[in-house]
Amino acid sequence: MFRYIIRRVLISIPLLIAASFLCFGLTTFMGDPLGEWKLQRPRPPAEVAAAEHRAGTDKPFLERYKDWAVNFVQGDWGTNVGPGHGTADVKDKVLKASWVSARLVIGAELIALLIGVAIGVIGAVRQYSMFDYTATGFAFVMFSMPLFCLALMIKTLGIEFNNFLQDNGFGRWIRTAGPPNGGFNGSITDQIYQYTGAFILPTICLVMIQFAVYSRFQRASMLDVLNADYVRTAQAKGLSEARVIFRHAFRNALIPIATVFALNFGATISGAIITETVFGWQGMGQLLVQAVNDKEPYMVLGFLMITGVFIIFANLIADVMYAVLDPRIRLD
């Protein structure tokens, strides 16, 4: 097991290096970061040369990649290069933004997983019941639902709810513009109040989209298990229904969902980008959109590298978890 993990980590390293090359290619494909600046008005050649030197575009592609990679490994992820975009440090900004996003995403994913598993199990145990049909129908609608529309509607409902609270003599609890800049402060109840107010709407959005995926997978895997021979054996032995479902079926039905959870990470990042755009969070989504609009290559690279590392790591966890949960799977 330990040897397998070590080997998987070692395999991930060349993958990450190749991915970094691909990402660098992608950011080059974005175009000249100085293009717009040059077009605004004629610039003196010396100024252009200085700006190009700062952006690194005076060097050939491979040399630029080498410079960036060496600096990246040493912890210098570069800065914004476009004139007028400031000199924000990429590492600082990306890490800060990913922390903002992670707080939102991790909570939402866990809630979605819990709800999804519960609904999937009930749907499988009571197959073709009213509950099953309702859950299936709802999941179908959620699959077809554009996340940003859902987010916009939930945001509007949140504002309405705030108005309702205010009319009845309470404060405007729900925030629709991200967590407060100065962080949460005041007494512990104040902090909880602010925290839930800031997190509740985006969390609901992400949960509603993601739980549909989990509930469908959980229902399918639970149905598979419930039809297995050993479950019939357990029932034939005269075990109580609850014991059969929870001790024999449920635990085995969790195996596929564990990997789905880890492999779903990419979809989660995409979801977070859109949710953050709607709710104005200063997270990874906003960072990416801003950097793409500014054509800031190193900022985009920082984003891509963080994302790539997280996804490779999630895939690794998926593989390991699969092996841990199902001893029949041999790793070597």
| Position among 81, 207, 257, 269 found at the interface with another protein (CB under 8 A) | 269
Site string for another protein, 153-192 (x = CB under 8 A): x--x--x---------------------------------
Q: Is 260 in the site for another protein (CB under 8 A)?
A: yes
Instruction: Tell the smallest beta-carbon distance from residue 312 to another protein (Å).
Output: 6
Segment interacting with another protein, rule: CB under 8 A, options 16-24, 234-242, 244-252, 321-329: 16-24
Instruction: Tell the smallest beta-carbon distance from residue 228 to another protein (Å).
Output: 14
What CA–CA distance (Å, rounded) separates 327 from 224? 18
Interaction with another protein in 294-313: which residues (CB under 8 A)?
295, 300, 303-304, 307-308, 311-312
The answer to whether 54 and 64 are in contact (CB under 8 A) is no
Q: What is the 3-state secondary structure (H, E, C) of 216-244?
A: HHHHHHHHHHHCCHHHHHHHHCCCCHHHH
| Position among 4, 148, 161, 195 found at the interface with another protein (CB under 8 A) | 148
The answer to whether 173 and 162 are in contact (CB under 8 A) is yes
Segment interacting with another protein, rule: CB under 8 A, options 81-89, 91-99, 181-189, 293-301: 293-301
If one counts every other C-beta atom within 10 angstroms of the C-beta of residue 261, the result is: 25
Q: Report how far Cα 46 is from the mean position of its chain's Cα atoms.
A: 43
Of 194 and 204, the one with the shorter C-beta distance to another protein is 204
238 token code pair: 């005269």
The answer to whether 321 and 258 are in contact (CB under 8 A) is yes
**Where do the H-state alpha helices sit in the chain?**
2-29, 35-40, 45-55, 61-73, 90-125, 130-143, 147-167, 188-226, 229-236, 241-243, 251-263, 265-279, 284-294, 297-325
| Position among 61, 99, 140, 246 found at the interface with another protein (CB under 8 A) | 140
Q: Is 94 in the site for another protein (CB under 8 A)?
A: no
What CA–CA distance (Å, rounded) separates 99 from 329? 35
Q: Is 143 in the site for another protein (CB under 8 A)?
A: yes
The answer to whether 253 and 121 are in contact (CB under 8 A) is yes
Segment interacting with another protein, rule: CB under 8 A, options 2-10, 58-66, 148-156, 182-190: 148-156
Q: Is 23 in the site for another protein (CB under 8 A)?
A: yes
At 56, the amino acid letter reads G
At 296, the amino acid letter reads E
Instruction: Tell the smallest beta-carbon distance from residue 307 to another protein (Å).
Output: 6
Q: Is 149 in the site for another protein (CB under 8 A)?
A: yes
Chain contacts with another protein (rule: CB under 8 A): 15, 18-19, 22-23, 26-27, 29-32, 35, 140-141, 143-149, 152-153, 156, 159, 213, 216-217, 219-220, 260, 266-267, 269-270, 273-274, 277, 288-289, 292-293, 295, 300, 303-304, 307-308, 311-312
